[in-house]
Amino acid sequence: ATAEAAQQAGFTVALIGVGGLQNVIDRVPSDTRLLRLAGAEHVALSAPSGVSIETHIVYEAVALNLPKDVRNLDEMGLRVLLHSAAAARQFDREAHRLALRRDQITLFAIGPRVASAAGKGWADIHVAESPNDRVMLELVRARCI
């Protein structure tokens, strides 16, 4: 989806990868210079020999507190979708702060790293087979219908 959007914006797409940026970086030819536009919290990359990566931080996710009214919903069996490790850690902190019934909450994580960051004690944690929204939403649909 990102490659398609880049092409529609007039960019040339040389490589497409699945499962994280490192999988693409590992296939980049030697003597390549890359510009990485990233969030303040991002996964470290290892550049192959002859490849340089210049990283610029272009956004930062700011954690917000959940409203106290969420406590009224947790007994309904909440389903929470987590797209980043930062979001998973924040939801874990908020669940503690609000004393949510973790055993009544099912998490859906976009990848294993996100699931790991969510902590323990949840009713269940499901992890998407590949890290993209479509696959994650298909998993949610299959588990919630």
pLDDT digits (tens, 9 = 90+) for 19-69: 678 888 999 999 999 999 999 988 899 999 999 999 999 999 889 999 998
Is this model's pTM higher than 0.85 or not?
no
pLDDT digits (tens, 9 = 90+) for 89-130: 999 999 999 999 999 999 999 999 999 999 999 999 999 998
Distance from C-alpha of 131 to C-alpha of 97, rounded to nearest angstrom: 29
pLDDT band at 133 (very low <50, low <70, confident <90, very high): confident
Question: Which two structure tokens, joined as six digits, stand for 55?
Answer: 């990283």
Which secondary-structure segment (H or E) carries 134?
A: helix 133-144
C-alpha Rg value of the chain to the nearest Å = 18
For range 4-23, the mean pLDDT = 86
pLDDT at 18 over 80: no
118: number of Cβ within 10 Å: 23
Distance from C-alpha of 145 to C-alpha of 135, rounded to nearest angstrom: 16
Q: What is the pLDDT of residue 41?
A: 86
Which residue did the predictor score with more confidence, 88 or 4? 88
Long-range contacts of 20-28 (CB under 8 A, 24+ apart): 20/111, 20/131, 21/45, 22/46, 25/51, 25/53
Report whether 105 contacts 115 (CB < 8 A): no
